[in-house]
Structure 1
Amino acid sequence: MKYKLTIAFLLVSFTMLSQEKASVNYLNTPVVQVLLDFESKFNVKFSYNAKLIGEQLISLEAKQATLDELLFDIEALVDIKFTKETERYYTVQKIKNRSITDTQHLEKVVVKEYITSGISENNDDTSIILSPEKLGILPGLTEPDVLQSIQLLPGVQSPTETASGLFIRGGTPDQNLVLWDGIKMYNSGHFFGTISALNPYITQDIKLYKNGTKARYGNRISAVIDITSDEDIPDKLTGSTGFNMTHTDGNLKVPLSNKAAIMISGRRSIADIVDTETFRNLSKRVFQETKISEGNKVFEDDEVTTTKDLFFFNDFTVKAIVKPNENNTFLVSNLFTKNKLDYGFLIEDYDEASQDKLDIKNQGSSIKWNHGYSDDFNHEFSAYYSNYDFDYTGTNSITNEFNDRLNKQNRVEDLGFAFDTNYNLDEASTLGFGYQFSSNKVKYLLNFEDSESPEDNYNESNVNTNNNHGIYGDYKYYVLDKWLLNFGVRANYFSVVDKLFFEPRFQLETKLFSNLKFKSSVENLHQSVSEVIEFNTQDFGLENQIWVLSDGDEIPVLRSFQVTSGFVFDKAGWHLDVEGYYKDIDGLTSFTLGFDNIDDFFSKGKSKVFGLDVLIKKKIQNYRTWLSYSVMDNNFTFNTINNGEAFPGNSDITHHLTWSLTYEWKHFDVSLGWTMRTGIPYTKANGLIETSGDPVIDFEATNGARLPNYHKLDVSATYAFNFSRSERWKGKLGVSFLNVYNQKNVLSRKYEIAKSTEDDGFVLREINKNSLGFTPNLVFRIDF
């Protein structure tokens, strides 16, 4: 049935009517003349200062494109930005002083729209840019979630089915550098990662690097997700508000003058106020096989009473934008995110009470000053402060018998500053260089109090600081429509290990034929801070990873070497992007990954990843379809695990296929997406081995088995409308359905030794964590 629905949707989408479109072909044409032509073709009006726009020339060719798509292409070509005031009127602003590390483009369009509107390939480097304001509808999403949107790109996977758990080309989530207005994020998810903690309605651009990373980015070895919030000064008060079945939000952009503005936003969950089907399903997936879902039961027939049931999340941002003149821009950003959980249980038969309290906070501030001396030379000074605070307390007691208490804390304080300069040597060459300093203080505390056996009490703590000095340079050279060369080098000094690390980065692109482009990149990266598994709170079942600094011994500095090479073909609405890669990661430990069947608690290792990412896209008027496919071989080698022989990595997904379709018709947008992938490896258990003490689990080969294949179908639809003829107030209604045919996918499988309910013996228990079942969601928004 599910396949029939997909085919029917495809056939129907071809028969629907299309929006107003036009074909254009401009060769070295002034922007002003292009805008006049658009006014005639689309019956719109542009308001701009002709002197500021200048005599910039563009070359652009497109067949049957909408106005919004053409304007998006022009923004990518020249330093101007379009703002839609009404359905007919647009304002045009000049953007000054783009640096080599910003988005820059060749004069000819190679590829603009990557998979759908609002997702484009940056011709200036290997990054992919997502613009939530322009983002088209995506399968299963009624709102442009910052991190979930990235998962539709080849090479990006989330085997945990969360927004923030991004495994990119064999790397783990903690190996991704996530920045919000220059602030380093150490927790980017709400509700244990199921929802992004970053508000999409104030986000201007998301830049994703899977390879070919600019030299200004350091101290992470997998990927870079650089998120920038809105930096424009609006002409009038604007904002939006809305809600869905998990949270509500609102934002305001207030112009203080034509040179200054302030932007504020806030979101909060509604689970503690309104019980919705969406949140119930998310809770069922998140809390399954944890103390919260089991009620701290000892036996299956225990009757448990919930004494406390509190969970909520929120986030707030405040940003000041000051542009006193064309040559200076000042930005001050502030971010605060919070997740709070407080659950309590009582087993009346034994008068046994337990409680779990968890607080996760991430707050930060940044300041940026950009000064342009001329169109060819500018500098930027930036500074930031980031604070991550994790606090968990678990208690368990029986009146007049025992009172146990466990407390875990993890704090990260990260502050730094950077100075960047950029200079256009000539029409073909650009040079950028800079210096960065960061001080990273990481604290870990674990305290356990056992009232019955004080000798088992323990108190572990560790505080360490790493001062990182980074010097880097970037050089870009291109010959119009033929060559693009980016070369960068970075030198990092990590005080925590007292060593200097060099990181060359190289990227080459060349146009072989009119429709075929070759691309290649090489990079060497290092990382001094990472997450490790903390087993002492595994009974809680949630958030068992903590941030730690490398010490050069048990926690080595991570190193990654990556080589990529591929081709891009674009013709007649077809787009094919094929890229192969090899990644070698060294410095892994069993602390950072966690294994079920190891004899030695600590083991060092490395991984080798071979992969191929393929994207095929076709656009026919308002209909788009794209196929994203990744094949990967990710092997681990550890000195004391599996006899030192290679075995599949924990997140080794051999095949991953996503097929998506979208259709736009008047004010309606519809999207459908089907995902299928190989199940992840796990270590299978045969049974229990009796010993003189408690039994132990008899495991087979490490990661020698695989979970069943994963597949699901997601659907979403939105309808946009105006509240009045003035079009000042706009609305949107949307609905989404995740896992339409309610497929039961297994996300992870582990084993534990449990007490038998029939005798005093023990049994082996299989623990499966399943994916999200059929889950509807509804959204309503108002923009003004």
Structure 2
Amino acid sequence: MMLNKWLVYLLLCIGSISYGQNTPNKIPLTEVIISVEKKFSIKFSYAVEDVAAVTIEKPNILFTLQETIAYLNSKTLLNFKALDNRYVTVSVINKTISVCGIVLSNEKKSPLIGASVVVNDIGRKAITNENGKFNLQNIPINATLTISFLGFESRQFSANELFSAQNNCKEIVLSTKKEELNQVLINVYLTPGLQKYLDGSTVLNTKKFGILPGLIEPDILQSIQALPGVESTNESIANINVRGGTNDQNLVLWDNIKMYHSGHFFGLISAYNPNLTNKVIVSKNGTSAEYSEGVSSTINMYTKDLLTNTFSGGGGINLISTDAFLEIPITKKLELHISGRRSITDLYKSPTYTKYFDRSFQDTEINADSDQNNTSSDFYFYDYTAKLLFDLNEKHQFRANIIGINNALDYSESRITNSNETQSKTSTLSQKNIGYGGNWKAQWNSKLSSNFITYFSRYNIDAADYRVETDQRLTEANEVLETGVKLNTHYKTNDNLNFLLGYQFNETGMLNQTTVSAPFYSSTKKDVLLNHALFSEVEYNKNNTYFRVGLRLNYFQKFEKLLVEPRINIRQKLSDQFALKLEGEFKNQSTTQIVDFEDDFLGVEKRRWVLVNDKDIPIATSKQGSFGVEFNKNKLNIEAKGFYKLVDGITASNQGFYNSFQFSNAHGSYTAKGLEFLANKTAHHYSVWVSYTFSTNDYEFDTFAPSTFPNNVDIRHSVSLGFYYNILKNLKIAVGGIWRNGQPYTKPIEGNETIQNGNNTVVNYDLPNKENLNDFMRLDASLNYNFNLSESIKASFTAGVINTTNQDNGINRYYKVNPNDSNDAVQVDNKSLGLTPNISFRVNF
């Protein structure tokens, strides 16, 4: 008997050694039970749900019954007990267990920091620490866990696979997604949740977002302003200037739907709810041939695209708005994601609202001083999204999306006439963007895949302004209708090489309309443009070399015009620390915004979308190149890059000139060139960064005198710095600031401020953009605290302050004729936000 025992133990040891070298295939416990019942003519008594999800290595055929029971007890979390020679009972030792794991990448087995661990069906979540490790307590024994990380294939494990009584955590290796050669280069870029890809694009993962100075939520349009080369001269997300470009030169996509509107509160708050946004990719140069338009940048927003079969959601409130989102599994193959947000400004006017209101409506009819009139205004906004996810099988996925954005303003004014009668006026302003989209992803075989995309986008801005003094009603409308279809086909020859071939068709229609009641006047202009495009590129990534080279052919049917756009993006690693980066692209743009009148849309929104006509409004084209060096060691990342950018086909009407060219019709170009620098040191508890941009940016209009002068957004020097620190495990703080040169402006000629132009008196401007405002300086801070309300409900409190020092910053200056003295010009200064606090409270489950 002793010999048999030692033989059994020897066999177990040999089995364990064999397991360590070549992992055997596990089989369901139910199969083992059936086999043992037949071999020993016994009966197991158990609850089906206790053993249904358990797998085990098959016991050795030499085991006796007692040895088999001992083996089953050692390999499972169940209690096997022989009542007699006929019956064996099976019971659960613990209904819940503790699990742990260490998540690693398949390359160099480096830890994946911030990987997501979700317990399916119950919604418990965790993220990995700086060592890639996670721990979860009190997990149901039959639970399934999904482990995922951006850019990597997700994996699922049963809870008992990750159980270890000795806390010997299982190593979990995630493989890079096969369809994505463009891997993550830097996992933590400025703050957790911000990452950098090999092609140089910046990626925001909102679910893992840490904190940035002044922000109370992961707002990509605010976050990217910490990057070199990205400015907002009037601190508005509706006016982001990338390497000297205007805001309409940024292509904004939400789940492949082209959006024409990006901000609430007329640019101070992002119009895109971040809670269902999975990632956002920002590209300044070297863009994929898949994309055109946006001669300055491409901003791609993607919502969550994987079915989790887990009901989850959350909600929050701050001093401006409240929001909620839900992820609702309908079946195992069908899921619905919805979100909504609405301002509370019409119910409660917080100090934050007052600051935003004064900033947004300064120098407009809404905020104009009037001693004779009584005025009131009511402003609110809302947005909503919905996404239906359907997985037909492992090879075919269908998605359908909708997004809606709305800003609404009602403005009332009353005055008492000389005859003691009260006259009232009501003006309204509505700004909307709604988009519908769908796509079908198909994996035809291991090498060939396709993605068919279709979308519809509609943008409207409508204003009705009733003027009491003249008994005149003015209505203005701007509408954009765009339909798009795109087919992307990917062919992957191996793990290192991928080919893309695609076709895109767009139909864009625009309407601009103005009507006046007395005297009656009406103007309506409609334009439609059809655009066909073929594009192809090859992407390669192996060892120290990454490159993506592509070509896009654009054909404009209306003009019978073909534009050829080459693209290049190369990164060559010289050593473990140093790499060189080369990017270049040609792009075009057929839609643009123009500034028509100083009082467009109640003076609140001064821009209208128009289509090019290849005459007085030509197709804008850009040629851009950049070259830089990167250094990365011990989580210290340093980048230096020189760039040159030429954009041709801009018009005087879309630059918003406040000078002698304000009402001129001409087209020209601008050239931006300079140097960008970024240094970022990250660790588990902190991140510190500084970015600097030096650039020169000049217009060239051949028909103007002078023909060359500084761009409206010619900011020669710009510095951004910040500090993020984990004070405690659940308490974070971020402090940062911005300093840059003041924006250029044009002064009138001293002593001869106005001149007569026909029947009108106008400002007599000096040389354009010869002067600069005082330097812009701002210090921001944020504090975030996370805590658990229960096992499955997480909560967070965030406080943020913009412009903590209440710095008086000018963001624009222009002049107009003094209504009381036509020989004098009045200076008008627009100011930035003063000290502006905000707080938010969020709950997620």
Give the aligned partner of residue 361 of structure 1: 432
**1:303 to 2:372 alignment:** yes
Give the aligned partner of residue 12 of structure 1: none
1:398-440 deviation digits (Å, cap 9, x = unpaired): 4xxx411211111111011111110112343211111111110
> For the Cα contact (< 8 Å) 2:676–2:693, is it kept in 1?
yes
> For the Cα contact (< 8 Å) 1:358–1:391, is it kept in 2?
yes
Give the aligned partner of residue 574 of structure 2: 512
**1:173 to 2:247 alignment:** yes
Q: Give the length in aligned residue pairs.
A: 711
Structure 2 Cα separation of the partners of residues 184 and 739 of structure 1: 33
1:2-48 deviation digits (Å, cap 9, x = unpaired): xxxxxxxxxxxxxxxxxxxxxxxxxxx99x9xxxxxxxxxx973699
Structure 2 Cα separation of the partners of residues 104 and 80 of structure 1: 16
Structure 2 Cα separation of the partners of residues 197 and 472 of structure 1: 31
**1:689 to 2:754 alignment:** yes
**1:387 to 2:448 alignment:** no
- Deviation of 1:536 after TM superposition, in Å, equals 6.3
Amino acid at match of 1:766: Q
**1:201 to 2:275 alignment:** yes
Give the aligned partner of residue 836 of structure 2: 775
- Deviation of 1:274 after TM superposition, in Å, equals 0.7
Amino acid at match of 2:754: I
Choose the corresponding residue for 1:605, options 654, 668, 678. 668
Give the aligned partner of residue 345 of structure 1: 413
Please show how residues 243-282 of structure 1 align to structure 2 within 5 Å. 243-282=317-356
Structure 2 Cα separation of the partners of residues 252 and 515 of structure 1: 43
After TM superposition, the structure 1 stretch with the greater mean CA deviation from structure 2, 320-329 or 279-288, is: 320-329
Structure 1 Cα separation of the partners of residues 112 and 336 of structure 2: 40
| CA gap 1:666/1:277 in 2 versus in 1, 3 angstroms | same
**1:642 to 2:705 alignment:** yes
Give the aligned partner of residue 720 of structure 1: 786
Give the aligned partner of residue 40 of structure 1: none
1:118-155 deviation digits (Å, cap 9, x = unpaired): 111112x2311111111111000121123112211211
Amino acid at match of 1:473: S
> For the Cα contact (< 8 Å) 1:674–1:714, is it kept in 2?
yes
Larger Rg: 2
| CA gap 1:430/1:668 in 2 versus in 1, 3 angstroms | same
> For the Cα contact (< 8 Å) 2:231–2:240, is it kept in 1?
yes
SS in 2 for 1:59: coil
Please show how residues 711-750 of structure 1 align to structure 2 within 5 Å. 711-724=777-790, 726=791, 728-750=792-814
SS in 2 for 1:612: strand
- Deviation of 1:84 after TM superposition, in Å, equals 14
Please show how residues 567-582 of structure 1 align to structure 2 within 5 Å. 567-582=629-644
Please show how residues 624-643 of structure 1 align to structure 2 within 5 Å. 624-643=687-706
Please show how residues 175-254 of structure 1 align to structure 2 within 5 Å. 175-254=249-328
Sequence identity (%): 31
> For the Cα contact (< 8 Å) 2:178–2:495, is it kept in 1?
no
| CA gap 1:247/1:63 in 2 versus in 1, 3 angstroms | closer
Please show how residues 121-136 of structure 1 align to structure 2 within 5 Å. 121-123=196-198, 125-136=199-210
Structure 1 Cα separation of the partners of residues 279 and 112 of structure 2: 26
Structure 2 Cα separation of the partners of residues 312 and 591 of structure 1: 30
- Deviation of 1:526 after TM superposition, in Å, equals 0.7
Structure 2 Cα separation of the partners of residues 190 and 214 of structure 1: 29
Give the aligned partner of residue 431 of structure 1: 499
| CA gap 1:110/1:274 in 2 versus in 1, 3 angstroms | closer
Structure 1 Cα separation of the partners of residues 609 and 601 of structure 2: 19
**1:104 to 2:170 alignment:** no
| CA gap 1:755/1:394 in 2 versus in 1, 3 angstroms | same
- Deviation of 1:232 after TM superposition, in Å, equals 2.2
- Deviation of 1:258 after TM superposition, in Å, equals 2.0
- Deviation of 1:202 after TM superposition, in Å, equals 0.6
| CA gap 1:391/1:470 in 2 versus in 1, 3 angstroms | same
Give the aligned partner of residue 766 of structure 1: 827
Structure 2 Cα separation of the partners of residues 229 and 511 of structure 1: 32
Give the aligned partner of residue 376 of structure 1: 447
- Deviation of 1:496 after TM superposition, in Å, equals 3.4
Choose the corresponding residue for 1:705, options 760, 767, 771. 771
Structure 2 Cα separation of the partners of residues 386 and 81 of structure 1: 36
1:243-266 deviation digits (Å, cap 9, x = unpaired): 000000000100112221101110
1:331-361 deviation digits (Å, cap 9, x = unpaired): 1110111110010112325556443311111
After TM superposition, the structure 1 stretch with the greater mean CA deviation from structure 2, 611-620 or 64-73, is: 64-73
- Deviation of 1:69 after TM superposition, in Å, equals 5.2
Structure 1 Cα separation of the partners of residues 522 and 784 of structure 2: 53
| CA gap 1:64/1:537 in 2 versus in 1, 3 angstroms | closer
- Deviation of 1:111 after TM superposition, in Å, equals 3.0
Structure 1 Cα separation of the partners of residues 157 and 233 of structure 2: 38
SS in 1 for 2:347: coil
Please show how residues 37-116 of structure 1 align to structure 2 within 5 Å. 45=99, 57-61=106-110, 67-68=128-129, 75-76=149-150, 78-80=152-154, 99=179, 103-105=180-182, 110-116=185-191
Structure 2 Cα separation of the partners of residues 372 and 426 of structure 1: 15
SS in 2 for 1:513: coil
Structure 1 Cα separation of the partners of residues 155 and 713 of structure 2: 41
> For the Cα contact (< 8 Å) 1:58–1:77, is it kept in 2?
no
Structure 2 Cα separation of the partners of residues 733 and 78 of structure 1: 31
Structure 2 Cα separation of the partners of residues 329 and 95 of structure 1: 21
Structure 2 Cα separation of the partners of residues 702 and 56 of structure 1: 55
The runs of 5 or more residues in structure 1 that have no matched partner are 1-28, 33-42
SS in 1 for 2:698: strand
Structure 2 Cα separation of the partners of residues 677 and 84 of structure 1: 54
> For the Cα contact (< 8 Å) 1:432–1:474, is it kept in 2?
yes
Structure 2 Cα separation of the partners of residues 766 and 778 of structure 1: 36
SS in 2 for 1:633: strand
- Deviation of 1:497 after TM superposition, in Å, equals 2.4
Normalising by structure 1, we get a TM-score of 0.86
SS in 1 for 2:389: strand
- Deviation of 1:326 after TM superposition, in Å, equals 1.4
| CA gap 1:281/1:478 in 2 versus in 1, 3 angstroms | same
- Deviation of 1:59 after TM superposition, in Å, equals 1.5
- Deviation of 1:310 after TM superposition, in Å, equals 1.4
> For the Cα contact (< 8 Å) 1:75–1:82, is it kept in 2?
no
Structure 1 Cα separation of the partners of residues 641 and 252 of structure 2: 23
After TM superposition, the structure 1 stretch with the greater mean CA deviation from structure 2, 381-390 or 160-169, is: 160-169
Give the aligned partner of residue 724 of structure 2: 662
Amino acid at match of 1:537: D
Give the aligned partner of residue 91 of structure 2: none
> For the Cα contact (< 8 Å) 2:436–2:455, is it kept in 1?
yes
Choose the corresponding residue for 2:472, options 387, 404, 418. 404
Amino acid at match of 2:193: G
SS in 1 for 2:149: helix
Structure 1 Cα separation of the partners of residues 660 and 835 of structure 2: 37
- Which one has more relative contact order, counting CA pairs under 8 Å at least 6 apart? 1
1:577-601 deviation digits (Å, cap 9, x = unpaired): 1111100010011111132333662
Structure 2 Cα separation of the partners of residues 541 and 753 of structure 1: 17
> For the Cα contact (< 8 Å) 1:140–1:738, is it kept in 2?
yes
